């Protein structure tokens, strides 16, 4: 029998363990001036990150009232619960399941002035291959995209489709932010935007 009643308890215990682990991480930051400039102008924008780097970046931006697009799958529920504890808001949906509803919620959040975080290769892959959802949302709302990458000095990598990265205790994590990527209108703008976001994610993922 599946003990569904125990899942919330396990999620809370897991959240406490993750927070204890994350409190030992040390961050080194580059390119944050791009984020700071947009925030000082109170301009909404979209963070894009590879799905495998959710955990270290989720902790890095805790308490900033960022809106996340979270899968409607039960696993996404655990991530949404963790995000709430760390000061995030969430829109449920994805580019695969409930995608239209999720992207509409993201566009509305951007139009309302929010900063949004999306994984363009999520929720089920292919890993590190940009899908159009995040770019289309930014295009529709007329906001820029900032690619963000995280490279830990030591980490565990799970056997999941994305090889989820869990930095080890006391790991040093280099986080890099790209310059803002502007998305032009139309199909050609979307295509060029996908290429630019792909390049941006590659650049911030190759930090040393």
Q: Is the separation of the CB atoms in 175 and 28 below 8 Å?
A: yes
Higher-confidence residue of 206 and 204: namely 204
What digits encode the pLDDT tens for the residues 99-108? 466 788 999 9
C-alpha distances in Å from residue 17, one per residue of 10, 13, 23, 95? 10, 6, 10, 30
CA–CA dist 67, 164 (Å, integer): 21
pLDDT of 11 strictly over 70: no
CA–CA dist 97, 3 (Å, integer): 25
Residue 177 host element (H or E)? strand 172-177
Give strand ranges (E) for 9-57.
26-30, 46-48
Residue 70 host element (H or E)? strand 67-70
What digits encode the pLDDT tens for the residues 145-200? 999 999 999 999 999 889 999 999 999 999 999 999 999 999 999 999 999 999 99
Higher-confidence residue of 12 and 72: namely 72
Say whether the peptide bond before residue 169 is cis (omega within 30 degrees of 0): no
């Amino acid at each position: 029998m599946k003990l569904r009643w125990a899942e919330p308890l396990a999620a809370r215990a897991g959240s406490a363990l993750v927070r204890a682990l994350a409190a030992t991480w040390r961050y080194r930051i580059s390119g944050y001036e791009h984020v700071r400039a947009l925030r000082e102008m109170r301009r909404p924008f979209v963070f894009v990150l590879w799905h495998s780097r959710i955990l270290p970046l989720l902790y890095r931006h805790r308490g900033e009232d960022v809106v996340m697009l979270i899968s409607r799958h039960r696993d996404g529920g655990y991530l949404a619960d963790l995000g709430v504890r760390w000061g995030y808001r969430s829109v449920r949906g994805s580019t695969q399941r409930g995608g239209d509803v999720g992207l509409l919620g993201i566009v509305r959040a951007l139009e309302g002035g929010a900063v949004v975080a999306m994984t363009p290769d999520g929720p089920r892959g292919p890993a590190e291959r940009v899908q159009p959802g995040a770019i289309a949302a930014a295009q529709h709302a007329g906001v820029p995209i900032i690619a963000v990458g995280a490279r830990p000095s030591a980490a565990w990598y799970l056997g999941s489709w994305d090889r989820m990265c869990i930095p080890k205790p006391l790991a040093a994590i280099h986080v890099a932010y790209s310059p803002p990527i502007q998305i032009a209108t139309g199909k050609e703008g979307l295509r060029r935007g996908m290429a630019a976001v792909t390049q941006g994610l590659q650049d911030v993922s190759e930090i040393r």
